[in-house]
């Protein structure tokens, strides 16, 4: 075997890609030149970018969208108590940072124990906390407890509940149970930003997926009929 092939094989076996090495070099440089969007310094390295989004640019883009939605929904712009269901590796925790500030709090809950472990060591602000939730999810945590349990969060204590595409992955009875949990934890006047896919007849009519195309117009995956 030639030296070139041996090196390529070695790099493949060690998980090397041009992108992950570029990311390793690029991220520290990028953090030094951020001028205006202070919170994106918290975007994790590519190994920990989850939630269906992977590229650095995609994380920054989605953070910007949700930061704007939060701004529009929140009555006070600082000191909010934010509860992020299905926090993954913390994308919405980054988007929420300006609205939490020093006087508020952010709680991320997820069924994936290793993502929660990552969040605990990556987001070190004292008012950020992460909870592993031992509940089953057919896609993410099929082995965990099937019992539906209330979130370990006080009633009437939260200004904003967020959940990015979590309800997409819930069974109907779980979806209803956790919607009641949203109502329980929100303070009067509190808001929830909950996104999910519903591929119903409205979606079909809107043709947002470009049903004849190989890939959707917005979502870079093959649309489902």
Question: Minimum distance between the CB of residue 179 and ligand SAM, rounded to whole angstroms?
Answer: 12
Task: Count other C-beta atoms under 10 Å from residue 141's C-beta.
Answer: 17
The one segment of 10-18, 163-171, 193-201, 203-211 that binds ligand SAM by CB under 6 A:
163-171
Give 85-145 as a 3 state SS string. Answer: ECCCCCHHHHHHHHHHCCCCEEEEEECCHHHHHHHHHHCCCCCEEEEECCCCECCCECCCC
Q: Starting at the edge strand that comes first in sequence, how are the strands of the sheet with 81-85 ordered?
A: 128-132, 105-110, 81-85, 158-164, 186-195
Distance in Å, CB of 51 to ligand SAM, minimum: 2
Sketch the per residue contact string, 57 through 96, with ligand SAM: x for CB under 6 A, - otherwise: ----------------------------xxxx--xx----
In the window 97-116, what residues touch ligand SAM (CB under 6 A)? Answer: 109-112, 115
| By CB under 6 A, residue 166 contacts ligand SAM | yes
Q: What track of x and - describes contact with ligand SAM for positions 129 through 158 (by CB under 6 A)?
A: ----x-x-x--x------------------
Instruction: State the greatest distance between any 2 C-alpha atoms of the chain, in Å, as a whole number.
Output: 69
Nearer to ligand SAM by Cβ, of 159 and 181: the residue is 181
Smallest distance, ligand SAM to C-beta of residue 174, A: 6
Residues 6+ apart with CB under 8 A from 134: 111, 144, 145, 149
Q: Which of 51, 104, 209, 223 binds ligand SAM (CB under 6 A)?
A: 51
The C-alpha atoms of residue 70 and residue 192 are separated, in whole angstroms, by 9
CB of 59 to ligand SAM, least distance (A): 8
For the CB of residue 96, give the shortest distance to ligand SAM in the complex, in Å: 11
Least distance CB 91 / ligand SAM (angstroms): 4
Applying CB under 6 A, does 46 fall inside the site for ligand SAM? no
- Residue of 124, 56, 51 lying closest to 89 (CA atoms): 51
Which residues, 6 or more positions from 160, have their beta carbon under 8 angstroms from its beta carbon? 70, 73, 74, 80, 81, 82, 83, 96, 99, 190, 191, 192, 193
Question: Which chain residues interact with ligand SAM by CB under 6 A?
Answer: 50-52, 85-88, 91-92, 109-112, 115, 133, 135, 137, 140, 164-166, 169
């Amino acid at each position: 075997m030639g030296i070139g092939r041996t090196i390529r094989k070695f790099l493949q076996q060690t998980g090397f890609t041009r992108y992950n090495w570029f990311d390793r070099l690029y991220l520290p440089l990028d953090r030094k030149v951020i001028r205006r969007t202070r919170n994106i310094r918290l975007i994790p390295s590519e190994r920990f970018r989850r939630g269906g989004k992977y590229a650095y640019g995609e994380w920054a883009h989605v953070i910007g969208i949700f930061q704007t939605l939060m701004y529009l929904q929140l009555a006070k712009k600082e000191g909010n108590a934010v509860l992020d269901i299905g926090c993954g590796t913390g994308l919405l925790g980054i988007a929420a940072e300006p609205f939490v500030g020093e006087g508020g709090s952010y709680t991320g809950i997820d069924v994936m124990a290793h993502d929660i472990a990552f969040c605990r060591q990556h987001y070190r602000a004292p008012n950020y906390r992460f909870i592993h939730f031992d509940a089953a999810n057919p896609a993410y945590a099929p082995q965990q407890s099937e019992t539906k349990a209330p979130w370990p969060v006080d009633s009437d204590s939260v200004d904003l509940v967020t959940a990015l595409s979590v309800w997409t992955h819930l069974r109907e009875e779980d979806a209803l149970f956790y919607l009641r949990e949203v109502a329980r934890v929100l303070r009067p006047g509190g808001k929830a930003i909950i996104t999910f896919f519903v591929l119903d007849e409205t979606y079909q009519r809107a043709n947002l997926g470009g049903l004849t195309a190989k890939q959707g117009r917005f979502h870079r995956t093959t649309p489902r009929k």
